[in-house]
A and B are shown apart, each in its own frame.
Chain A
Amino acid sequence: QSVLTQPPSVSGAPGQRVTISCTGSSSNIGAGYDVHWYQQLPGTAPKLLIYGNSNRPSGVPDRFSGSKSGTSASLAITGLQAEDEAEYYCQSKDSSLTGSVFGGGTKLTVL
């Protein structure tokens, strides 16, 4: 059980907007540590999607956006496309650990 909690699955129709939550605590997200998001397409290595809560690396479409508030963070995907079907993970540092931790992952299904 990860210290960062994500819903196991979310779904949406093409063109819709979906959000994926990442709930932490006062020892990680609530302590002010940044949240980062990764997309893992089936059978491939993860890819950085959002860093520093809301920043997109070069090449990531602006359909993807991140936000953080209190002890939680969210990834929003607008204009859902079939190619967005993947597993999504949040990551943050935790003050009780010497390093970082990933959320349990959320499987996005495009209906």
Chain B
Amino acid sequence: EVQLVQSGAEVKKPGESLKISCKGSGYSFSNYWIGWVRQMPGKGLEWMGVIYPGDSDTRFSPSFQGQVTISADKSISTAYLQWSSLKASDTAMYYCARGNHYFDYWGQGTLVTVSS
């Protein structure tokens, strides 16, 4: 059974750094793209970017390029989404999902709250 399990909710202060994770199981992690999707409170889905764990090829939406880092460690079947300096506007639910053109399996989401 394909599963994506994300790390738990985070509460951070503006300016702090954060790295959240997404662990895949039940399939060959290296051979499928993993994407990240943001959903701000009460808002729609936003495509952030994707990574191919096999070679770490990464693509970003222009809206998120330079704002976050996407990485993966294929040895432990885990993808990451990272911020170096959080802003209040980063408060959102973040989903990881398998795929590139479309997402066929989704993680349960990680709620990130940034507040002073």
Q: Which residues of B contact A98 (CB under 8 A)?
A: 59-62
Query: Which residue from A34, A57, A100 sits with its C-beta under 8 Å from B47?
Result: A100
B2 to chain A, nearest CB (A): 12
Tell which of B105, B106, B107 has the most Cβ of chain A within 10 Å. Answer: B106
Number of A-B contacts (CB under 8 A): 62
A101 with B47: CB separation less than 8 A: yes
Give the segment of B9-17, B78-86, B96-104 that binds chain A: B96-104
Tell which of B44, B46, B60 has the most Cβ of chain A within 10 Å. Answer: B44
B61 with A97: CB separation less than 8 A: yes
B44 with A89: CB separation less than 8 A: yes
Rounded to whole angstroms, the CA-CA distance of A102 and B47 in the bound complex is: 7
Query: Which residue from B44, B103, B104, B107 sits with its C-beta under 8 Å from A104?
Result: B44
Main SS class of interface, B: strand
Q: Which residues of A contact B60 (CB under 8 A)?
A: 98-99
Interface of chain B residues 16 through 37 with chain A (CB within 8 A): 37
Interface of chain A residues 57 through 99 with chain B (CB within 8 A): 57, 87, 89, 91, 93, 97-99
B44 with A48: CB separation less than 8 A: no
B101 with A36: CB separation less than 8 A: yes
B109 (CB) vs chain A CBs: closest residue: A45
A89 with B101: CB separation less than 8 A: no
A46 with B45: CB separation less than 8 A: yes
Query: Which residue from B50, B61, B62, B106 sits with its C-beta under 8 Å from A47?
Result: B106
- Is B49 in the interface zone, CB < 8 Å from A? yes
Q: Which residues of B contact A2 (CB under 8 A)?
A: 44
A33 (CB) vs chain B CBs: closest residue: B101
Query: Which residue from A48, A99, A101 sits with its C-beta under 8 Å from B59?
Result: A99
> Footprint of B on A, CB under 8 Å?
2, 34, 36, 38, 40, 45-48, 51-52, 57, 87, 89, 91, 93, 97-105
11 example contacts (A-B, Cβ-Cβ < 8 A) are as follows A38-B45, A45-B109, A51-B102, A51-B104, A52-B102, A89-B44, A98-B59, A99-B47, A100-B101, A101-B61, A102-B44
> Footprint of A on B, CB under 8 Å?
37, 44-47, 49-50, 59-62, 95, 97, 101-109
